[in-house]
Every structure is written in structure tokens, then in C-alpha cells.
Chains A and B, each alone.
Chain A
Amino acid sequence: MENLFQQNMARVNRRQLFGSAASGVGVAALASLLGGNALADKSTATPGSKGLPDLPHHLAKAKRVVLLWQGGGPSHVDLFDHKPTLQEMAGKDIPDSIRGSTRLSTMSSGYGKWPCVPAIKPFQNYGQSGIPLSSMLPKIGGIADEMTLVKSMHTEAVNHAPGVTFFLTGSQVPGRPSMGSWLSYGLGSESDNLPTFVVMTSSDKSKTCGQLFFDYYWGSGFLPSRFQGVRFRNTGDLVPYLANPPGVSPTARRALLDDIAIMNAEHLSDYGDPEIDTRIAQYEMAFQMQTSVPDLIDFSKESASTIERYGPDALAKGTFGNNCLIARRLLERGVRFVQLMHAGWDQHNNLYTQLEQQCADTDAPAAALVQDLKERGMLEDTLVIWGAEFGRTPFGQGDPAKPNGRDHFGRAFSWWMAGGGVKKGNVYGATDDYGWNITENPVHVHDMQATILHLCGIDHTRLTYRFQGRQFRLSDIHGDVVKGIVS
């Protein structure tokens, strides 16, 4: 029991050192209650969670991850996978020999016509590596030499929610832990006063696509709930209940917390349950978060040129640009997994109007994040991932004579990655002339999960959690690390 008190005191003293105002009286009282100040320098207990003792399994190339989720399914043949054949065949049906028996969504599976629709804007080669990308993505083109472009992603999902859930949790059915939860569970926290796993959401301005974000995209499934992602909100407090109630000053709160701690410490001495000590610690960390979280959106120390780089929306709450900027600040402060979820790529019937707008909104911020991390020396151990649940059909949706959109397409699509352990200026995998079938190096959802964990120093077959008599893992029972992505 001695030991519990010592840790408790160590934490209290630590708080004092780290300078929250007006901690004086209560802490002194607590110190005397617990028998003096003999424990000053044995500060080992930190409120942040520790990872598993056997991790990492190997040297981690990435210490933290930022996932730029592009919900809805960006069109690979318009943006990343250049197919001149679609131009030559424009308006003509995609040959049966190519289409085969591909399973499509019920929005297009009953079609009798499959008219090729070429990329809506030209492609151009970017960087020294000369990776061809859409001219709608000039800024991302500017970081072409940092990235691996994977053109051979594939999934079994035909719809959004199951598709997103598949990538983020390893199963199309909601309920398993998400990738960020696994990493938090395995690797623990590097921050004492911020959550390990943070989620932010944004959507296209005209809300054309309506891809919704569900709690299970960042849920902890059967892992303890403290590993679930904390979503920063776009209205009100960044974190629910972060702000003190009206009329409660930080000073008044500090005093009250000290008194609660004294009462709890007395109770600890009566009951001897270590959970009481944990509670004392968590109340303290809650207080710290009340300062550390608002500090994340205090951009007063960011230079004008930095803010400008993140695009015109950089200071507008709830935009992708703003979220990218906050993401960098989170990563700097030791947050392990930052998951940005942006909606608006689901162009069933507005390809010609919305896709370009969508690119314009997201191109600069994504590229800025990579460049900013690079300039701060963080890119080498930060993994940046840009991708979605699927791509879009190379044929057009709508009136076959005048198609205006594309349907969901999981058989082949593209992702890009940069930073921690990713090959630079690299293209991996390929598809046929129509962007329909993968012709080399397919990368399945589970392969991507295995690769992401690998880059973080984790063998995906060994990060497991026993639930219902089975060892579960992110990659289910599949997946191989894609060596061609790893530097």
C-alpha cells in the first residue's frame, strides 16, 4: 500500500512541477495527509498508457501515423491511374472480356451498357520520378517524389460503411477494434496530456455525397474502451465536456479537484483498491487536457506562410485544411494515430462538377501536411496514408449516352502513402488498359493493414487479442506485408 501512496504523491508533485496555477493549499494538505515529502523524485507513474511489453516486434520505421481517409471512393481512373484506352473507347462498352463477372453495387449491376468514360481532366507527370497524376492534383503532384502510389488496391466490399469498416477494423461487419485502437493498445501513448488516438471529420462544402461517419470507424471493439479514438468535434468543445461549466473558473476547479483528491486518497487508505489511485490520476489528467487540447487550435504561433500552405480553408473549423493543420500539431505532441475522415468523393451523378471541386479542397492540405512534416524532420518517422474504401467504375453511370457519374468499384483502385518507411517516388502495382483488373502485385485490404503495422514495428500476426476464445487481429487471418512499398 505504501507503494500506491508513493505513486500517488509522485503524480501530485509532478503536477505541481509542471505548473498548474493555484495548486498550493490542496496539494500541501494532501502531502501532509500522506506523510510528507520523502517521495519527490521517484516519479514513474504517468497517466498515459504503456504499450505491450513485447512491442515493437522489430525496429519501427514509423512512430506515428496520420490516415487521410477520403470517404466515398475517389475515382482512380480520373486521379491516379491514367488509362488512354478509356479515351480511345469513350462511349463504347467496356469489353465483356474485361468485365467478366465482377460483382457491382445494385445501382449498376443491372446495366446493359458499360460506356467507357475517360478521365475528366488530363494527367501530367510530376516530380523527378515522373509519376503521372491528374492535373487536378498539382500540390500532391509536388510531393510525388516522397510517395509510393499503389495502383493495385482491391476489396470485396461494394458499399461504403462495410468498405470503410473493412479497412479500419479488418471486418465488414462493425464491432471489431479499429486500426488506431490496435496501435494505441500495442504501442501505448507518447503524450501525457493528449489522447493516443484522435479522429477529425470534414466533408465537401455542398454536402453532395453524404458519407456519414460512425463511431465504429474509430471504436475499440472488444479492446478496453480507453483505446477508442477520441473524435474532435466541429461544434462546441473540441472534446465533449472539455470546458468547465459556466461560472467555474480554472482556479475554482483546481481547488475542487484538490479536495476531491484528498477525499479519494483517504478512501484509498481505507479500501486499499488500486482502482482508486487510477481514478485520482485520471482526474488529474482530465485537468491537464483542459489546457493541452485547446492549445492545439491556438494557431497564433504558426507562421502566415505555413497557414497559407494548408489552403484557403486552413483556419475554418471543420474543414479538411484545418484538420490537416491540427493533425500536424497533434503528431508533434506525440499523438500516435491521427485519423482524418473527409467525405465527398461519392460522385454517382456529379462527376463533372464535383470531382474538381473536391480536388481543389483537399489537394493543398494533404500535400502541405507532408511537406510540413518533412521540413520539421518528422516525415521520416511519420506514416502518411491517403486512401478510401474503394475506387470508381471506369464506365459511366446515368444515361449511357451521356453518363454523369461513376459507381463504386472495389476490384482495383489507388492509394498513396508517404513518410516513415515508405519507398519514395515509387509506383506499385498495375491494372489493365481499362483500370478494371489488376495485372500485377495486387494489394488486398489485409495486405495494407499488415504493411501499415509492419511499418510501425509490428508483426500483424502477433498483435493479437483474445476474445471469445479466439486470437483476433487487425488483419483477421490474412494479409502479407507488401515489401514493394517498404523502403
Chain B
Amino acid sequence: MFKVITQRCLKLSWVTLAGSDFAQVSTLNRASHIATIILFAILSSQPASSEEPIDFNRDIRPILAENCFYCHGQDGNKRQADLRLDIRDQAIKTNAIQPGKSSESSIVARIHSESVEDQMPPPKSNRHLTADQKRLLEKWIDQGANYSDHWAFVAPVRPPLPKLANPNWVRTPVDHFVQAKLEAEGLTPSPEADRATLIRRLHIDLIGLPPTPEQVDAFVNDSDPKAYEKLVDQLLESKHYGERMALSWLDAARYADSNGFQQDGDTWQWIWRDWVVRAFNENLPFDQFTIWQLAGDLLPNATNDQKIASGFNRNHLLNGEGGAIAEEQRFVVLFDRIDTTATTWLGLTMACAQCHDHKYDPITQVDYYSLLDAFNRVPETGTPQFFSSRIRVGAPFLELPSEEYKLKIAEFDSQITELEKEAAPMIDASFMGWRAGLFLDGEPADGKGLPDDLTKLLKKPEAERTNEEKLSVETLLRKYFDEKVRSSINYKSPAISKLSELRKQLGDYKANSLPRVMIMSDDKPRESHVLSRGEYLKPTDKVTFNTPGFLPPLAADAPRNRLGFAQWLVSPEQPLTARVQINRMWQNLFGVGLVKTTEDFGVQGEYPVHMALLDWLAVEFRESGWNMKAMQRLLLNSATYRQSSRMTPELRTRDSENRLVARASRFRMPSLILRDWSLYAAQMLDPRIAGAPVYPYQPDGIWESLAITKERDFTYPASSGNDLYRRSLYTFWRRTVGPANMFDASNRQTCRVRPSTTSTPLHALTTLNDPTWVEAARVLAEHSMKHSTVSADQIRFAFRKVLGRPPRDKELATLEKAMQKQLAFYTEDPVAAKAFVEVGSATRDAALELPMHAALTAVCLAILNLDEAMTRE
């Protein structure tokens, strides 16, 4: 029976998602595409067993949500025929559903109708019910048309561990659930992957850097029965762990180093990015991780770190275009804040409720704006403030002068004081001279361009001025002189001109170098309203902060602000937060989430194949004190995680997406990691953690599409030296033009919680031709040549640096042949050889024989481009 249920789940999820997922499926080649279609065909041909009870959430709600709720759901504005199918009583009252009597239920008649007017869903709606779905609906009605609350909106309860026929395989509770489902499906888990694969997999998933051949050997030969667990613990304590974990969090947080519109001002948000890395490394519990990022600024006696953490909600785009309407932009930012927060923590798409009650989920427009109220108290304008032609940051922000900055300012100040002393007599004399000149022609006030208030005072005969006015005249005159006149007397004294120059330099230095990280603050309470159709100019009913009505209420004594909201998110009654986060952790390790729709746990989201496992993990996560590393350990130590990722023909046909986890998943590493991997394999990576963004190799004119403005200089400020080899995480991310070699990355414009790992020719061109990879290949070749003079050993050395395992004989033979071919080319053309091994700015040992070095560089480039080298297996 289990088998049938699971298969039906798979089938339903496929049907429901067919529209959207076609593209993803077709990124695979036709074969898997065909396999999927075959799978679908097989499943479609198996009607659900007649005795089996229907589960509303699993079987029926997806059909109703996809096909009916758009017009017959919660949204009153679009509701047709006054019919609601999302509430049982309403559906019965209108005769649409007669429990137990499908033949008397009007929806059954309508779904079977052939008439264009009567048929439901209407043929024009682009929605269509399959024969199977129609049968399911009928059977559900016949069985009593029971509704139940959407699973994800009910707090998870820890399920018991399932009983197993063969418990030997099990290592952690995770395996109980996986094994139970596999047994029901008549499948067996894949064998454990070999150790070389396991250490490489762990390195990819936990730190994103390759194990050295020595580390691989040590692990392979470690006879300690806890060798694997030891390795996991070691990697969880690596300082690179936080960098790896930060990558997907930055995607969710739409983190970038610039504002994202015309002028695209640079920001200081990397200070927030560094906090994220620290927080992961220190294993800040997820509840605190949440509270700090959403409301760190509101904590009592908030530390700088807590304030910086709140920058999560300041990573949005900022539009400073000439003519932009600030208030309109402020609402764009607010909406983005709600969308990002809701997707990241609740796995809900609140955005729909910006304009109308949500069509599928029970989120009303009032819910939306009641939540928005908590975010609507920030003293911000909606546009960035101009600090220099490069830096544009919007208040509120935290100024964090570094030691270096303070020293530099002190240096400026002492120089200025020094010069002031030197120049003072000269300046005073000039002022007196200028002042006298003002009165020479007897008409002191006119035609001198003096400010109005000053002119008015000057027009008053001196005798009539009060003492206060006399003083004021002098102050204003001196002020005017200092600001407007003094620069014209610079030529008179080197000290004066130096002083002016220094003052200007100081101003520029402050504007460009004083770190100002944008953070949250509630210093400007505003009234919040429901906005008609989401338009900021059409406020209607006033609302005050509250959490969405369909979720557990705020505690009575909770602060009615962002802090209360953040605490509510991590309260034990909250059904979503733990599930959503644990699902993302699963996705990072298994390629696909337990709920595939990572961004949507609403009624349109996927009904998880492994519901019990998800709930078990969510409860465990909360009860562990939201301990992220402990949860990682639980997943990583499982037998499930340790399986081989080989795909048997049977598994490819039965479960091409690996939802049953009868094997480990295989997926291409993120491009940011691919770059780090190559640099590390070539022993070039600069492992420094944190700091200001760097500017490694990009194609010439990477920002040329921006360089058509005169408003600022958009020349790419290419780094040199070690900065070229920092981890990709530290590459400057211009929001309008992302780094060209970090393909498939999130666009960092809106919140993204599901990664994209496609395969296109442009990606191949990048890893074959980008100087980053070519330089890494030639430096790796250089190390290989220093390691050995024997060709096979050189290749083996490079191979292991990239892949960990030694090459098999056949592979070595192929690569040696490749080497001979390349050597022939380069022996014939030493000029080409020289050009090839000079790519990049790393110094090269001139003693290395040219053709040999070039040929080995080509082979190393091939190794870096092997499918296996780019894939986490």
C-alpha cells in the first residue's frame, strides 16, 4: 500500500508542477526527459487502489489549488459565482459538494461537462484536469469530502521512528525514514561511496575547498571506526565552514556590493557579509541568527554585531535615479523586505497579498499590511544618500571607523592644525583686506553676491545695529569669506593652498573610507495602511502590526514590533520556520529539498515525499536549541548521505530526481566554488577570511554597459597580487552587472533560495578560457613539474590535486596521450607555448622547459574541466 501512495505522490507532484518544471527537466538531455515521460505514463496507468483512503492534503488540495482556487478561493475580488471551494461548509452550502454523493455534487458535473460554457476549469483558463484527477475528486467526495488544514500550517509533531525489516543499514534517525520508504518501494539503498569520494564530498559541502592528496590518503587509510565522524567534526570547525554556508544565505538575502540602479553606488554591506560568516563559524543558534538579522537593532543594549546583523533587511536595491519619486521607491523597498523575509523564514509568498487577498494561501491583504507595519518605521527616504561619486548609502547606517581610518584622520587633523597656525596671519590679513574692499565704493551690500541675511544687515547703518547684529555681521562675513573667497587667495601662500587641498582630501577620504553599513532602526514610526491594489498613493484602512491570522498568534506580552515578530518566528508553536530552514539544509546536501519548492510551503508548494522525516528533523532542530552544526552532523553522519551517487538504470527510470534518496545526489558545484577549487588545487588561493571586496580577473570592459555615464567612473578597478586569489565570496558583486565568470549564480536582486545548476556552452567557454582557470592550470602544471620529471607522475600529481583520488590506468593513459599530442603542438610552436604559460600575473619559474610546461598546462586545464572535477558526487 505504501508503494501506491508514494507513487501517487510522485505522480501528483509531477502533474502539478508540469508547467514549471518542464524547463528543468529539459536541462537534462532527451533521455532523462523521455525517462520522466515514461515514468509519468507508468504511474498514470495505475489507478489508485479503491480501498485506500484519500488524504486531502496529499491528494486533493493540490488539485483544487491549482485548478479551482484562482476563482473559487479566498480572494473575494476575483471570486466567481459566489462559490468557495477552499472552505468545506461553503462548498457544501452551495451544493458544489455533497459529501458521500459525488453524482449529486455540482462540481463533478461541471468537471465532466463537455460544454464550453459549463466545463470547469474553463477551457480558456489554461488549466486542465486529467481523468485520474477527476476520479480522485469523485472518490474523495464519496469518501465524505473531508478537508484538513494545510500540513505546513500545523506545527510539526515528532513522529515515531518507523519499524524496519532491515535496520542494519541505519546510522542516524534520518536513515530510519529513508529506509522505511525504500523498503515500501522495494528498493535498497546504494552502497556507501568509497572514502576518496566521501572526503571530497564533505569538503565540497562543508568548506568548498578540495582535500589535499595527503588528507585523502590519511582518511582512506584511517583504521579508526570513527574516522568519518572525526572528519565531519574537523570540517565543521574549519574557518572556511562559515564561508561555504554563507553562499546560499547571501542568495536569500539578495546581498550585493552596490545599489543596483543608475550610478549604482557602492555600499559597505560586506560588513554584514562578514558577520554572516562569523555567525556560521561560531554556530550562533538559528533562533538568535533569526532574531539578530530581523531585529538585532531592537535588542536591549544592542551590540554592534547585533545591529550589523539587522543589515539583512538593508541589502535591497536602492534607486537614486534623477527624478525618482522617493516615497514610491521607499515602498518598493518595503515590499521587497516583506517578500524576502517571508520567503526566507516562512517559505511563503506574501507578495500576492500586496494587491489582493492571496489566491491560494490564507493570507489576506490585511495580514500583509499588518506585517508590513513592523517594517514601516525605518528612518529612510527610499533613495540613497550621495557620499562620493562612488559611495551611496541610505540611512540608517552604522559608522564603523577602523583603526586605520582613525589613524589617517588623526594624521589629517594634525597636518591641518599645523598648517592653520602657519597660515593664520596670512588668512586674517586677507580677510581684513577683502572686508575693507567691500566698503570701498560706499555701497557695501549690492553686487557682491553676499547672502541675503548679510546684505540686509549691512544695509543697516552701522550705528543702528545692535551689539548682537554687529557680532553677527562679523561672523557671517568671516563665514562667507572662508567658504567662498578664500580659495581664490590660495596662490598667495603655499600654506594656504596646501590647507585647502588637505581639507578637500580629508572630505574625500571620509566620504570614501568611513565604513557605513546600512542597518535597521525603528526611529520613525509611521501610520500604515492597506494599499488599494498595492499602490502607495491609495491608502485605505489603517492597520497596526500583527502576524498573519492563520498562523499562531503573537504572545500577549510580545513586543509589537520587529523584535516581537522575530521572536514569534522561532517560537515553538510556529509551524514553518524550522521546517523551512531544515529543508534548505537538506537541499544543500542532497541537491533537492525534502519539499522541492524551497520557496513555497503554501498550498501550492510540493507535498513532501518524506513528510515524516521533515517533521522529525524540524522538531529535532528546535529541541536541539536550534543548533545548526548539530543538525548538519545528524545529516552528514547518516548512511543516507554516505551512499554512492552512481545512478543505476533502474533508479534513473524510477526516480530520476532522486526524491527517494536511494543514492546520494550528484550535482555541479556552484561556479563560485569551482573557481575556489581551481585556485586551491593550484596552491594559489589566498585563504584570508573577511574584508572589503576584491576585484579579480574579469573580461576587459566588464562594466562597459555602465560606462556610458559621466556621473561616475565605471572602470573596473582590477586587483593585483594576492587579492586576485581570494575566495569568490569576496569578489565585488555589482548588482547591475554580476561577475562574468560566476555563472548560474543568483542575480542578487531578489531573494533566491533554490540554486540553479544548468549546463551551457557559455559555462564551458568560461572554464576553458577565463584567465582564472588558465592561470590555475599553468601554476598547477608548474607544481607538478617540480614534483617530478616523469610525465605520468606529473599527471597523477595534478589529477589528485583536483580530484583527490588517483587516476585509473585507463585515465592516465588517455591523459598521457593528450600530453604527447599537446607536446607535439608546442614543440613545433614555442612562441605559442610561451604565450600560453604567461597567462595571468603569477610569476613563473623561467627555468621550466617551455613546450613541456605548456603541454602540461593544457592537460591540467583538461583535468579542471572534467565533468567529475566540476561535480559533487
Q: A50 touching B699 by the CB < 8 A rule?
A: no
Q: In the complex, which residues of chain B have a beta carbon less than 8 angstroms from the beta carbon of A266?
A: 810-811, 814
What is the bound-complex CA distance between A201 and B705, given in angstroms?
Answer: 7
Q: A233 touching B750 by the CB < 8 A rule?
A: no
Q: B761 touching A289 by the CB < 8 A rule?
A: yes
What is the bound-complex CA distance between A459 and B126, given in angstroms?
Answer: 10
What is the bound-complex CA distance between A267 and B868, given in angstroms?
Answer: 8
Residue in B709, B810, B825 whose beta carbon sits within 8 Å of that of A252 in the complex: B825
**Is A386 interfacial (CB 8 A cutoff)?**
no
CB under 8 Å from chain A, chain B span 824-854:
825-826, 829, 831-839, 854
**Is B743 interfacial (CB 8 A cutoff)?**
yes
* Distance of B618 from chain A, by nearest CB (Å): 20
**Is A264 interfacial (CB 8 A cutoff)?**
yes
Q: B29 touching A45 by the CB < 8 A rule?
A: yes
**Is A242 interfacial (CB 8 A cutoff)?**
yes
Digitize A243-260: 1 where CB-to-B-CB distance is under 8 Å, 0 elsewhere.
111111101110110011
CB under 8 Å from chain A, chain B span 526-581:
537
Residue in B811, B818, B833 whose beta carbon sits within 8 Å of that of A247 in the complex: B833
A46 to chain B: closest residue by CB = B30
Q: B765 touching A270 by the CB < 8 A rule?
A: no
What is the bound-complex CA distance between A25 and B818, given in angstroms?
Answer: 11
Q: In the complex, which residues of chain A have a beta carbon less than 8 angstroms from the beta carbon of B325?
A: 103, 105-106, 109, 158-159
Q: What bracket does the count of chain A residues touching chain B fall in?
A: 35 or more
Given A174-B750, A212-B706, A271-B666, decide whether A224 and B839 contact each other with a Cβ distance below 8 A: no
Q: B854 touching A247 by the CB < 8 A rule?
A: yes
B-binding segment of A116-124, A275-283, A327-335: A275-283
**Is B478 interfacial (CB 8 A cutoff)?**
no
Given A105-B325, A260-B865, A466-B20, decide whether A249 and B832 contact each other with a Cβ distance below 8 A: yes
Given A241-B766, A252-B822, decide whether A246 and B761 contact each other with a Cβ distance below 8 A: no
Q: B126 touching A224 by the CB < 8 A rule?
A: no
Q: B666 touching A275 by the CB < 8 A rule?
A: yes
CB under 8 Å from chain A, chain B span 788-826:
810-811, 814-815, 817-818, 821-822, 825-826
* Distance of A11 from chain B, by nearest CB (Å): 10
What is the bound-complex CA distance between A185 and B710, given in angstroms?
Answer: 37
* Distance of A56 from chain B, by nearest CB (Å): 14
What is the bound-complex CA distance between A201 and B810, given in angstroms?
Answer: 48
Q: A52 touching B22 by the CB < 8 A rule?
A: yes
**Is A107 interfacial (CB 8 A cutoff)?**
yes
**Is B475 interfacial (CB 8 A cutoff)?**
no
Q: B704 touching A234 by the CB < 8 A rule?
A: yes
Q: A465 touching B20 by the CB < 8 A rule?
A: yes
**Is B261 interfacial (CB 8 A cutoff)?**
yes
CB under 8 Å from chain A, chain B span 8-31:
17, 19-24, 26-31
B-binding segment of A1-9, A354-362, A433-441, A479-487: A1-9
Given A105-B324, A247-B833, decide whether A469 and B604 contact each other with a Cβ distance below 8 A: yes
Given A216-B747, A263-B814, decide whether A468 and B774 contact each other with a Cβ distance below 8 A: no
Q: A272 touching B652 by the CB < 8 A rule?
A: yes
Q: In the complex, which residues of chain A have a beta carbon less than 8 angstroms from the beta carbon of B822?
A: 252, 255-256
Q: B19 touching A465 by the CB < 8 A rule?
A: yes
* Distance of B796 from chain A, by nearest CB (Å): 14
What is the bound-complex CA distance between A227 and B23, given in angstroms?
Answer: 10
Q: A239 touching B765 by the CB < 8 A rule?
A: yes
A348 to chain B: closest residue by CB = B322
Q: In the complex, which residues of chain A have a beta carbon less than 8 angstroms from the beta carbon of B28?
A: 274-275, 278
Q: B769 touching A264 by the CB < 8 A rule?
A: no
**Is B243 interfacial (CB 8 A cutoff)?**
no
- The residue in B23, B537, B774 that gathers the most chain A C-beta atoms within 10 A of its C-beta is B23
Given A259-B818, A266-B810, A469-B602, decide whether A214 and B737 contact each other with a Cβ distance below 8 A: yes
**Is B629 interfacial (CB 8 A cutoff)?**
no
A-binding segment of B230-238, B282-290, B640-648: B640-648
Digitize B741-769: 1 where CB-to-A-CB distance is under 8 Å, 0 elsewhere.
10110010110000010111111111011
What is the bound-complex CA distance between A107 and B603, given in angstroms?
Answer: 45
Q: In the complex, which residues of chain B have a beta carbon less than 8 angstroms from the beta carbon of A276?
A: 867
Q: In the complex, which residues of chain A have a beta carbon less than 8 angstroms from the beta carbon of B336?
A: 173
- The residue in B24, B771, B865, B867 that gathers the most chain A C-beta atoms within 10 A of its C-beta is B867
**Is B361 interfacial (CB 8 A cutoff)?**
yes
What is the bound-complex CA distance between A244 and B774, given in angstroms?
Answer: 10
B-binding segment of A126-134, A203-211, A412-420, A444-452: A203-211
**Is B770 interfacial (CB 8 A cutoff)?**
yes
Given A242-B765, A271-B646, decide whether A235 and B701 contact each other with a Cβ distance below 8 A: yes
What is the bound-complex CA distance between A288 and B764, given in angstroms?
Answer: 12
**Is A226 interfacial (CB 8 A cutoff)?**
yes
Q: B319 touching A162 by the CB < 8 A rule?
A: yes
**Is B317 interfacial (CB 8 A cutoff)?**
yes
**Is A215 interfacial (CB 8 A cutoff)?**
yes
Given A4-B29, A215-B736, A278-B27, decide whether A264 and B647 contact each other with a Cβ distance below 8 A: no
Q: B323 touching A105 by the CB < 8 A rule?
A: yes
**Is B605 interfacial (CB 8 A cutoff)?**
yes
Q: In the complex, which residues of chain A have a beta carbon less than 8 angstroms from the beta carbon of B699?
A: 233, 236-237, 240-241
Q: A259 touching B814 by the CB < 8 A rule?
A: yes
What is the bound-complex CA distance between A412 and B192, given in angstroms?
Answer: 67
Q: In the complex, which residues of chain B have a beta carbon less than 8 angstroms from the beta carbon of A224?
A: 23-24, 27, 756, 758
Q: In the complex, which residues of chain B have a beta carbon less than 8 angstroms from the beta carbon of A263?
A: 811, 814-815, 862, 866
What is the bound-complex CA distance between A232 and B340, given in angstroms?
Answer: 32
* Distance of A231 from chain B, by nearest CB (Å): 7
Residue in B647, B738, B826 whose beta carbon sits within 8 Å of that of A215 in the complex: B738
**Is B668 interfacial (CB 8 A cutoff)?**
yes
**Is B148 interfacial (CB 8 A cutoff)?**
no
What is the bound-complex CA distance between A89 and B30, given in angstroms?
Answer: 66
Q: In the complex, which residues of chain B have a beta carbon less than 8 angstroms from the beta carbon of A282?
A: 759-761, 763-764
Q: B770 touching A241 by the CB < 8 A rule?
A: yes
What is the bound-complex CA distance between A218 and B741, given in angstroms?
Answer: 17
**Is A262 interfacial (CB 8 A cutoff)?**
yes
Q: B261 touching A161 by the CB < 8 A rule?
A: yes
What is the bound-complex CA distance between A53 and B22, given in angstroms?
Answer: 9
Q: B837 touching A210 by the CB < 8 A rule?
A: no
Q: In the complex, which residues of chain A have a beta carbon less than 8 angstroms from the beta carbon of B765?
A: 239-242, 286, 289-290
* Distance of A404 from chain B, by nearest CB (Å): 16
What is the bound-complex CA distance between A260 and B336, given in angstroms?
Answer: 44
B124 to chain A: closest residue by CB = A461
Q: B832 touching A159 by the CB < 8 A rule?
A: no
Q: A248 touching B858 by the CB < 8 A rule?
A: yes
**Is A425 interfacial (CB 8 A cutoff)?**
no
B699 to chain A: closest residue by CB = A240
Q: A226 touching B760 by the CB < 8 A rule?
A: yes
* Distance of B190 from chain A, by nearest CB (Å): 12
The chain B residues found within 8 Å of chain A, CB to CB, are 17, 19-24, 26-32, 34, 126, 260-262, 264, 317, 319, 321-326, 328, 332, 335-336, 343, 349, 351-352, 360-361, 537, 597, 599-600, 602-605, 645-649, 652, 666-668, 699-701, 704-706, 708-711, 736-738, 740-741, 743-744, 747, 749-750, 756, 758-766, 768-771, 774, 810-811, 814-815, 817-818, 821-822, 825-826, 829, 831-839, 854, 858, 861-862, 865-868, 870-871, 873
**17 examples of A-B residue contacts, CB within 8 angstroms:** A7-B30, A106-B323, A158-B328, A174-B747, A174-B750, A185-B23, A207-B708, A214-B737, A225-B758, A226-B760, A242-B765, A244-B769, A247-B835, A248-B832, A249-B832, A465-B23, A469-B602
The chain A residues found within 8 Å of chain B, CB to CB, are 1, 3-4, 7, 25, 44-45, 47, 49-50, 52-53, 103, 105-109, 158-162, 172-175, 185, 195, 201, 203, 207, 210-216, 219, 221, 223-227, 230-231, 233-237, 239-249, 251-253, 255-256, 259-260, 262-264, 266-268, 270-283, 285-286, 288-290, 343, 348, 407-408, 459, 461-462, 464-471
For the complex with contacts A158-B323, A213-B705, A233-B699, 7 further pairs of A-B residues with Cβ separation under 8 Å are: A107-B323, A159-B321, A270-B646, A271-B666, A282-B759, A285-B764, A469-B361
Nearest 10 CB-CB pairings of A with B: A247-B836, A466-B20, A105-B323, A469-B604, A247-B835, A210-B709, A235-B701, A175-B750, A286-B764, A286-B761
